[in-house]
Amino acid sequence: MQDNASLYHALKNSDKVLLLFIFDTTILNKLPSKEDKRVSFIHESLIDINQEIRKYDSSLCILHDNPLAAFEKLNGQFHIKAVYTNSDYEPYAIKRDKQIGEFAKANNIVFNTYKDQVIFEKSEVMKKDGTPYTVFTPYAKVWKEQYTQGETKVYPSEKILTNLYKTNSFAIPSLTEIGFKAIPSGTSKPEIHRNLILHYQETRDIPAIEGTSRLGVHLRFGTISIRHLVETAQQLSETWLNEWIWREFFMMILYHFQEVEHHAFKRKYDAINWRNNEKEFKLWCKGETGYPLVDAGMRQLNETGWMHNRVRMVVASFLTKHLLIDWRWGEAYFAEKLFDYELSSNNGNWQWAAGCGCDAAPYFRVFNPSLQAKKFDPDLIYIKRWIKNYHENYLAPIVDHDFARKRALSVYKAAL
């Protein structure tokens, strides 16, 4: 409810603002499990919002439908004058918003969209020749220059909630009513720990400690302000600030190069002859590769819906380089499991690990998972936390590192 661009503009322009959330059946019907913590998190957040706006004699309107059908029903009930929403940059969202915009135009409804989940969107950070950056470092340099020189707008939407539509006629559907099992998300309210951010540079690569903020899920679903995060990052940690700039970089890439959703950014990498061994893929998914750091990471993901950032790089490199399994398989598995899943970042990071993305690690960079474990988890704290009854030879490695590295280099070189 705080610092929300579209909500602020709606409240400034009307004293009858109805808050709407649509559980989009187009999205929900594709989820492989009816026990999804992300859906639970959204549901919990809606309950919190509804409790807050009850103080202003209002209530959320929550529908379970496809967006166009939902707006058709609402317009018949309320004769909508204007729609206010924040921009989304994923391919499906762009098509959805275009469809709603066309519906609005046909029904004499004003359709307003606002930048809210990023500092810079679409084509706001570009090369001098007007083309998008495809390398992070120069993008980040210009991003920081524009941020420092500009004035960041803040939208104190929380201060004008008296303009909400007065109603108590809506009820929040239960998770079971929208076809999902009622499971707690296990996520606390967003909180920035200043001491953690101050030491982020030293702690972010150590999976055994709580050295990362875990705020990605809150930014993903709009329960925290990017403007607040970036302001804090600029004050406390440039390394942490760079994480948020990477997020916007990948969003910009997806917006300008929508084909990366299904293809390698470097299209010649589509010619790689992936082995795609299904048995080995299942062992990777279960965390039974015989490489402790890889297995610990996958078990953490499967149990919690989250994986430490350093370990994400190691498991992605292992799948694509050691097993020569298509990065899209791993990307899809992460999309299914990750609590903080965001298409642009997931896609960008998987392509980075596979060597086929923009500004990616070169294909000949192959993480040694054993050395990574010795460097970042030398006392086996993280590994023992996620691999129960761990011992040195708990599982035989499914592939030898030196053999796998040479095989990967050979296959990549043949394709490129």
User: Domain with 250 in it: what CATH number?
Assistant: 1.25.40.80
Instruction: Indicate the number of domains in the chain.
Output: 3
Q: Is the pLDDT of residue 100 over 90?
A: yes
- Is 194:39 a contact under the CB 8 Å cutoff? no
> 267 and 407 in one domain?
yes
Asked, for residue 174, whether it belongs to a domain, the answer is no
- pLDDT at position 131 is 97
> 248 and 143 in one domain?
yes
Domain range for 204: 117-154+193-256
- pLDDT at position 197 is 94
Q: Where are the alpha helices (DSSP H) in 257-289?
A: 278-286
The structure tokens listed for 164 are 């909400």
- pLDDT at position 363 is 84
> 349 and 241 in one domain?
no
Name the average pLDDT for the chain: 95
> 150 and 80 in one domain?
no
| Amino acid at position 24, single letter | D
Q: Mean pLDDT across the stretch 216-224?
A: 92
> 386 and 312 in one domain?
yes
> 109 and 84 in one domain?
yes
Residue 192 confidence class, pLDDT cut points 50, 70, 90: confident
- pLDDT at position 137 is 96
- pLDDT at position 241 is 96
Q: Is the pLDDT of residue 234 over 90?
A: yes
Asked, for residue 278, whether it belongs to a domain, the answer is yes
Residue 12 confidence class, pLDDT cut points 50, 70, 90: very high
Q: Is the pLDDT of residue 151 over 80?
A: no
Q: Mean pLDDT across the stretch 252-280?
A: 96
> 264 and 376 in one domain?
yes
- Say how many C-beta atoms besides its own lie within 10 A of residue 147's C-beta: 18
Tell me which DSSP letter residue 203 carries. Answer: H
Range from 74-83, 190-199, 283-292, 372-381 carrying the lowest mean pLDDT: 190-199
> 374 and 342 in one domain?
yes
> 238 and 365 in one domain?
no
Asked, for residue 384, whether it belongs to a domain, the answer is yes
Q: Is the pLDDT of residue 235 over 80?
A: yes
Q: Mean pLDDT across the stretch 187-191?
A: 81
- Is 117:343 a contact under the CB 8 Å cutoff? no
Q: Mean pLDDT across the stretch 145-157?
A: 89
Asked, for residue 285, whether it belongs to a domain, the answer is yes
> 372 and 359 in one domain?
yes
- pLDDT at position 392 is 83
Q: What angle do CA 340, 346, 351 make, to 5 degrees?
A: 160
> 365 and 355 in one domain?
yes
Query: Under DSSP, is residue 17 helix (H, G, I), strand (E, B) or coil?
Result: strand
Q: Mean pLDDT across the stretch 151-177?
A: 92
Residue 357: partners with Cβ closer than 8 Å, 6 or more residues away:
260, 264, 265, 266, 347, 348, 350, 351
Q: Is the pLDDT of residue 16 over 90?
A: yes
- pLDDT at position 13 is 96
